[in-house]
Amino acid sequence: MLIQIQSGSGPIYQQIVDQIRFRIVAGQLRSGEELPTIRGLAESLQVNPNTIARAYRELEHEGLVEKRRTTGTFVSENSGSKSPARRRRLLTPEIDKLLILAGHLGVAKEELNELIQTRQKVIERRGKQQ
């Protein structure tokens, strides 16, 4: 599993949570798919296993993964649920971060909307290429 840790981009566990969450929501990780072991992912990322365990607990709390005793951690069967409540719960913190950053940078609402639409087109084109 490709996860990239960037110094200065927030807590390592949160970077892991965000990247796995994105992969699940984007359908890159499917329901029932096994995640790397805590130890294995910690070794590949060269981080403390407790960091991975914390990330997995957070994802489990969000209902995106489930820990199965003695067999590992798996993407939850209902993780693909696209219910409006689930979408809001997953998107709200990300939107809040974006709005706070945009406010600090002095970005006008219209400029932000234009940027979002532009980025959405870029992402849609990437999806068609894959």
- 15-44 residue pLDDT tens: 999 999 888 887 889 999 999 999 999 999
Do 113 and 68 reside in the same domain of the chain? no
User: Do 67 and 95 belong together in one domain?
Assistant: no
39 and 70 fall within a common domain: yes
Planar angle of CA 119, 122, 123, nearest 5 degrees: 90
Q: With respect to residue 3, please indicate whether it lies within any of the assigned structural domains.
A: no
Residue type, 74: F
Please report the pLDDT score of residue 129 as a whole number: 61
Is residue 1 in a domain? no
Please tell me the distance from the alpha carbon of residue 45 to that of residue 8, in angstroms, as a whole number.
Answer: 16
Q: What percent of the chain clears pLDDT 70, i.e. is strictly above it?
A: 93
Decide if 6 is inside a domain.
no
Q: Flag whether 60 is in a domain.
A: yes
> Do 63 and 99 fall into the same domain?
no
Give the per-residue pLDDT at 11: 95
**Based on the domain organization, do 91 and 122 belong to the same domain?**
yes
Residue 123 CA to residue 103 CA, distance in Å, equals 24
Residues 93 and 122 in one domain: yes
Strand partners, 90: none
Range of the domain at 55: 12-75
* Tens digits of residue pLDDT in 103-130: 999 999 999 999 999 988 887 877 666 5
18 and 55 share one domain = yes
Mean pLDDT score, 91-96: 87
Same domain, 54 and 91: no
